[in-house]
Amino acid sequence: MKQKTLRSATDLASAGLIDATEVPAISEVAKKYAVAISPQLQEILDRPGIKQQFVPSVAELYNSPSDQQDPIGDNANSPLKGIIHRYPDRCLLQPVRVCPVYCRFCFRRETVGPGNAALTQTELEACYKYIAEHPAIWEVILSGGDPLILKPQQLANIIMTLDQIEHVEIIRIHSRVPILDSARIDTAMLQALTQRRPIYIVLHINHAAEFSDAAIAAIEQLANNGIVLLGQTVLLKGINDNAATLGQLMRTMVKHRIKPYYLHQADLAAGTSHFRTTIAAGQKLMAALRGNYSGLCQPQYMLDIPGGAGKSPLGPTYITETEQGYVVNDYNGVAHNYNDTV
């Protein structure tokens, strides 16, 4: 395995991932948005759908008129450092803003990157106090950055402290670590993750090619230890925006005990317009999934509404109301009348 995480334009040029002539422009990109291609990721970089997700491109220097600095309104919903609280029954706790690898379409690209210190103990305690003082918070979602980049002991402390808050019943963790930095899922990490139940982990996976042997082994450990695994995928132009690729991804998840949860419409993050599909294209893909793949393989297609209003499903919808009742479309697109009068 190659040893070094690639972080700069010169690293990328030495590894043959960009042309030497591109170094100045890619340095500009790397100055704005963090780059990291871990050794494990380097091993699978030549598989389909991987390079475009992680190797920076000059297209990131272009800002489309719809781009936003804070695309999902995190700032508007942050009552204190480390907490984003948008819905009454659940909030995000962001203990760290570092990731093992940096996605070129990241929705938090303005705020994540190496060198961002984790929350201090004092800051964490303020977050616990906030959660304890809001009894409606039923679920705490550890997000980031990537929470599984913390040392197992740090993570264990966070989980055990949250566990002591009586109204917090569910702890959920959003991560790419098991798939792309799998060695972190070691005995100590498994111990940290199994000291209370339930723990849900939502794995961010955009292409079936991300399932390396190491990733599969880590997922197996998590599932065997009773952690519930869900999958979230960002719909990305040129990477997974066709029915066969998306269907294969969903099947691969299900085969490895990961239930597809959300398919995200790509957010309006700065310098990422080259990754965005139309919503009509996303709806068509969802219809193709529904028609050709098991119900287990169906995520919900979601939009995080710009500005911080929260997430909404984007359909497609199968039902329309008429004067006589309803018209329901089947998976072949054939319309059927349905009347619910009792």
Binding site for ligand PLP (CB under 6 A): 72, 77, 84, 86-87, 90, 92, 141, 311
Residue 142 found at the interface with ligand SF4 (CB under 6 A): no
Partner in contact with 104, chosen from ligand PLP, ligand SF4, none, beta carbon below 5 to 8 Å by kind: none
Query: Which residue spans within 54-152 are E strands per DSSP?
Result: 83-87, 90-93, 139-142
- Site residues for ligand SF4, 168-227, by CB under 6 A, read 176, 204
Our CB check for ligand PLP shows the closer of 72 and 289 to be: 72
Our CB check for ligand PLP shows the closer of 211 and 262 to be: 262
CA dihedral 191, 195, 198, 202 (to 10 degrees): -30
Q: What are the two backbone dihedrals, phi and then psi, of residue 107, each rounded to the nearest 5 degrees?
A: -75, -15
d(CA 342, CA 339): 9
Query: Which residue spans within 114-258 are E strands per DSSP?
Result: 139-142, 170-175, 199-204, 228-235
Partner in contact with 86, chosen from ligand SF4, ligand PLP, none, beta carbon below 5 to 8 Å by kind: ligand PLP
Residue from 35, 41, 72, 103 in contact with ligand SF4 (CB under 6 A):
103
Q: What are the two backbone dihedrals, phi and then psi, of residue 163, each rounded to the nearest 5 degrees?
A: -60, -25
Our CB check for ligand SF4 shows the closer of 176 and 184 to be: 176
Those residues whose C-beta lies under 8 Å from the C-beta of residue 230, and which sit 6 or more positions away, are 200, 201, 202, 203, 258, 259, 260, 261
Partner in contact with 102, chosen from ligand SF4, ligand PLP, none, beta carbon below 5 to 8 Å by kind: ligand SF4
Our CB check for ligand PLP shows the closer of 18 and 91 to be: 91
Partner in contact with 256, chosen from ligand SF4, ligand PLP, none, beta carbon below 5 to 8 Å by kind: none
In the bound complex, which residue of the shown chain has the CB atom lying closest to ligand PLP?
Answer: 86
Our CB check for ligand PLP shows the closer of 202 and 270 to be: 202
Our CB check for ligand PLP shows the closer of 72 and 214 to be: 72
Rounded least distance, CB 123 to ligand PLP, Å: 18
Residue 332 CB burial class (10 angstroms; 0-12, 13-18, ≥19): exposed
Classify strands 310-313 and 300-305 as parallel, antiparallel or unpaired.
antiparallel
Those residues whose C-beta lies under 8 Å from the C-beta of residue 122, and which sit 6 or more positions away, are none
Closest C-alpha to 134, from 172, 83, 201, 171? 83
Binding residues (CB under 6 A) for ligand SF4: these are: 99, 102-103, 106, 108, 112, 144-146, 176, 204
